[in-house]
Amino acid sequence: MEGGHPLRGTIQVGGAKNAALKLMAASLLTPEPCILQNVPDIRDVRTMERLLAGLGATVERLGDRLTIRAETLRSEAPEEPVREMRASIQVLGPMVARTGRLRIAQPGGCSLGPRPIDLHLQGLIAMGAQVEEEHGVLTVTAPKGLHGAEIHLDFPSVGATENLMMAAALARGRTVIANAAREPEIADSVAFLNQCGARARGVGTDVIEVEGVAELHGTTYQVMPDRIEAATYALMVAAAGGDLLIRPVRTEHLGAVLGKMTEMGVDWAPAGDGLRVRGKGAVAEHYQAVHVRALPYPGFPTDVQPQIMAVLTMAHGTSVISEEVHASRFRQVGELRRMGAWIWTEGRTAVIRGPVRLTGARAEIPDLRAGAALLTAALAAEGNSWLEGVEHLDRGYAALEGRLTEIGAAVSRITEDKEE
């Protein structure tokens, strides 16, 4: 791809990956059909489709619409999709609540440092489940069913909050999850569950209460727009320059990101159901250095930290980024240095000095959001860049190169033939 081309026009934001995957898992709670609309056609969703099918559900896709029927379920998860994606653990709560048993391998996914699932397991144990582990495979059973419990999470984990919330929907009695995550995707899960007949409340707070019911029914539900995708495009136009309308966007979900963009000097404004961003591009001293702390919501999202790092290499002054969610969220740093960035890291802190004029280079994408950061940098860099490992981007962004080309980027995917 060739950098230096401003981005202009309109780009569409798909359904939220981090919401769609959880709603697909929650569909296992009922034998009735669940119809999910605005589901992105991305690699992680396809992996979850294979996982649900392996558990006995049927999944039919028509455009951005998924119909999931989980009438008869198996108690063992297929290993391949579980190893591919960390979000596969989200089927644990629904399966144990619905069927009383699940055998599942430890999940895989992006290597972002240790992300144990002990909070998921501790919560289920408090609700009456029994857990056995052998050779990396978990067997979780609830022979007498799950019951309500008071659970205090050591960390406001999004995955654990959602998993326990889904399990509690069919548990006997009342479950209270304290120090719960507050991400907008949690609200989407609660709305879906309640639409299926659950009784959950506490959205937007750090205490979620769920009154268990005997059964849930099917429903039709629209997945929320992807706030991380929207933030990625906003930072891409900040880096490359131009004038871009990003839609649909719920700007109230992007308060921390938009606040830092304002502090940096990036022009943005709400525009109907979207967000308009005017980027100044990679000209020295157009942006100001800022300090960023990646925190659980409503703090700055860890999934946007790599992208803003790419833009801060172009900002005047010294920026500091503190990553307080994932231990290994700086995997883009070495590749950004190949492009001329000055970045120093120690532990979970990164120091970025700018401005520098990035230049094109050959770089390896190590994970999804690091890939978005490298693409952001390449859009602003002088000359050509070659990014290898683009399959990581496919996990979270649908048809990305085609949509970027439509708004002025000079980017294409090259498929290399391998000799036998």
Q: Are 27 and 413 in contact (CB under 8 A)?
A: no
What would the 3-class secondary structure string for 172-230 be?
ECEEEEECCCCCHHHHHHHHHHHHCCCEEECCCCCEEEEECCCCCCCCEEECCECHHHH
Q: Among the options 110, 254, 325, 373, which is catalytic?
A: 110
H or E segment and range at residue 352: strand 349-354
> Is the alpha carbon torsion for 412, 413, 415, 416 positive or negative?
positive
Long-range contacts of 290-293 (CB under 8 A, 24+ apart): 290/260, 290/263, 290/264, 290/315, 290/319, 291/319, 291/320, 291/321, 291/322, 292/260, 292/319, 292/320, 292/321, 292/322, 293/321, 293/322, 293/324
Total residues belonging to the chain: 420
Q: Is 349 left (phi over 0), alpha (psi -120 to 50) or beta?
A: beta
H or E segment and range at residue 138: strand 137-141
Burial of 144 (0-12, 13-18, 19+ CB in 10 A): exposed
User: Between 158-169 and 118-126, two packed helices, what is the crossing angle to 10 degrees?
Assistant: 30
Nearest to 148 by CA among 210, 215, 214: 210
Nearest to 233 by CA among 257, 255, 252, 256: 257
Q: Are 325 and 299 in contact (CB under 8 A)?
A: no
Reply yes or no on whether 196 is catalytic.
Answer: no
Measure the CA–CA gap between 90 and 23, rounded to whole angstroms.
9
* DSSP 8-state assignment for residue 252: G
Identify the residue whose tokens are 């409340």: 201
How many C-beta atoms surround the C-beta of residue 262 within 10 A? 12
CB half-sphere exposure, 159, CA atoms < 13 A: 18
CA geometry: angle at 165 spanning 215 and 45, to 5°? 90
Residues involved in catalysis: 110
